[in-house]
Amino acid sequence: MIIKPDDVVLFTGDSITDCGRDRADSNHLGNGYAMLAAGQLYSQIASPALKVYNRGISGNRVYDLEARIEPDLLALKPTILSILIGINDTWRRFDSNMISATADYKASYQRILSRVQKELPETQIILLEPFLLPVPEDRKNWREDLDPKITAVRELAIEFGTEYIPFDGIFAEAATRAPAGYWLPDGVHPSLAGHTLIADAWLDHAQIG
């Protein structure tokens, strides 16, 4: 993934990406990994032409992301598109009995990627793997729903030839160095350390052009 001085970088997804961004300010990056990664890009590239946007929305499932593809994705014409979506497609099954079959999740994600590649063929896409740690213990039960969705995202990365970061594995490894709650206090939402882990891994995939 080569990032150039005049690129438009878009981070999109759910609350993990949103992370408290001010919706009234279209340039606000929130307080999480998108902001941390953007700061490094702005500092290292040092180009006024570089633009970084955050369009994560808390609570979104993949279907919500698909529904707002026009104003929050295509209209921004990103040259670098980073997507993290999926944990709410699992979460809603366990707190609201809203079941999102893996096939439906994958099909919606597939439609998003197809439109991007059709309408913005020069856009570089990077898919971020949904992740989960067992905090609290009942999160272990979520695995039966999330794991097939993770496999689906991996398959989509192959199908569409995108970049891919295996964050479920990255957080699992991190949890051998410090307790799971240190990284993801509720098993889903990152701490400052967790957001930094995401930003660092994302930047490791970026080559300054």
Strands 2-3 and 207-208: parallel
Question: % helix / strand / coil in the chain, to the nearest 5?
Answer: 50, 15, 35
Rounded-to-integer distance, Cα 193 and Cα 200, Å = 10
Query: Does residue 183 contact residue 196 with C-beta atoms inside 8 Å?
Result: no
- Per the residue annotation, which of 147, 189, 191, 205 is the catalytic one? 189
Rounded-to-integer distance, Cα 131 and Cα 40, Å = 24
- Per the residue annotation, which of 7, 14, 15, 195 is the catalytic one? 15
- Per the residue annotation, which of 6, 22, 104, 186 is the catalytic one? 186
- DSSP of 165-209, one letter per residue? E-HHHHHHHHTTTS-HHHH-TTSSS--HHHHHHHHHHHHHT-EE-
Q: Is 43 a catalytic residue?
A: no
**Comparing C-alpha atoms, which of 99, 53, 50, 104 is closest to residue 75?**
53
Task: Calculate Rg over the CA atoms of the chain.
Answer: 16
Q: Is 191 a catalytic residue?
A: no
Q: Is 108 a catalytic residue?
A: no
Q: Which residues are catalytic?
A: 15, 186, 189
